Amino acid sequence: MSSSPLLLILLILLFSPLITNAHKCSQSFADEIRKNLNSTGVQNCRKKTQGAEFAWSFDKASRRLDIAFAAKLRHETGWLAWGLNPMGPHMVGTQALVGIRRRDGSLEKYTYNVSAPTKTQRCPLVPEEIGLKMSRFEFFYMEALEYYVILATILLTDEFNPSSTNVVWQIGEGVAGNQLLMHPRSLQSFDSTAVLDLQSTQLITHAHKRRYLRTAHGVVNMVGWGTLLPSGVIVARYTRIFPKPCRWWYDVHVSCQSAGYIIGSGGWALGIWLGKTSTYYKFNIHNTLGFIIFIFTSIQMLAWRLRPIPSDEYRAFWNMYHHFLGYAILALISLNIFLGIKILEPDHVWKWAYIGVLGGLGMLVLAFELFGWIHFLVKKTHPD
């Protein structure tokens, strides 16, 4: 009944954002950028959220920063934005370079200052002068990779610290004239910030602590709610009689359920904290299902202590309630995990890893069911 390989796969996913965040950009992009930068070299190149890629080089003596930021625009109209923020790794205060693709395919470039009123859409986000000193600003289409690229050379002023530079980027679809409309409200859109040490080309990871906590929330719940609880149900349903009566089935069942409940509750509590501290996004269906799952699993844990003795006349009704509620919880857990994966928009390995977990458990159930029916038919045909 061991599910340790499945648990190992899920736990490895906890560290995948750290690995993914450190991935250098594609070799094809780096090669194309070197051709376009001409005399400017590329010191570092990294993949970013929303499928974007970012290459840069920095000269400490002259404080010259050369950047190339690229991504695909998948709609007829769209915009690509990259900027620096002297105030912190967030949108408000960003001095942005923006490239716009019009419906007719024409390309335009502008600069924008992002303020609190424009972020909350109380004021339109329209072009204006920014504080960045630039000797080069281009926006073009890289046909070989189907990328739209912002290329710029910036002289960093004293308000920017090269060892801790706040970089912000964004990709949007809606444009009204020169006014940028709201970008998609996905987590990846809200996570499009980084703090870079331009001098050592290192990513300062504390700016992404919330992203790692969200990942921990997802993985812990996949392990607790999504793996241990169904494993405990399988133990209770099948190992009492088939394939061989096991006198330890109840202890294993309770251990799986207790561990799953404790781990899942920890993940749920972390999710509650993340929801309370989030400012710009709410996921009401996911949150509501998580709350229902926690309440129902808590009831199931209490039922373990309050179950009637086998000879009690109400034991049959308790069994029906306990089984029905347990299966309902498992269905809600699977649904909510897939909702969470859709919200996080991680690498596809997440979804397929959990599908693999469910597939493995499902195959185990199918094997037990087939064995049970074969045993039943054999006993019916040959009662002696």
CB 198 within 8 A of CB 320: no
Residue 216 structure tokens: 């921990």
Nearest in space to 264 (alpha carbons), one of 292, 234, 283 = 292
Strand partners, 98: 81, 110
Q: Which residues of 189-198 are buried (b: 16+ CB within 10 A; e: fewer)?
A: bbbbbbbbeb
Phi/psi-derived region of residue 103, left when phi > 0, alpha when psi is between -120 and 50, beta in every other case: alpha
For residues 195 and 205, what is the distance between their CA atoms, to the nearest angstrom?
A: 7
Q: Which residues of 261-277 are buried (b: 16+ CB within 10 A; e: fewer)?
A: bebbbebbebbeebbee
For residues 24 and 30, what is the distance between their CA atoms, to the nearest angstrom?
A: 9
For residues 346 and 336, what is the distance between their CA atoms, to the nearest angstrom?
A: 15
* 167 CB burial (10 A radius; 0-12, 13-18, 19+): buried
Would you say 348 is a known binding-site residue? no
Residue 103 structure tokens: 């419906």
- DSSP letter at 49 equals G
Owner of token pair 């006993």: 379
For residues 256 and 1, what is the distance between their CA atoms, to the nearest angstrom?
A: 11
Would you say 286 is a known binding-site residue? yes
Evaluate the omega torsion of the peptide bond into residue 243 and state whether it is cis, within 30 degrees of 0. yes
For residues 336 and 294, what is the distance between their CA atoms, to the nearest angstrom?
A: 12
For residues 30 and 33, what is the distance between their CA atoms, to the nearest angstrom?
A: 5
Would you say 206 is a known binding-site residue? no
Would you say 217 is a known binding-site residue? yes
Strand partners, 141: 148
Q: 3-state DSSP call for residue 88? A: coil
Annotated binding site for heme b: 217, 253, 286, 322
Residues of the binding site: 217, 253, 286, 322
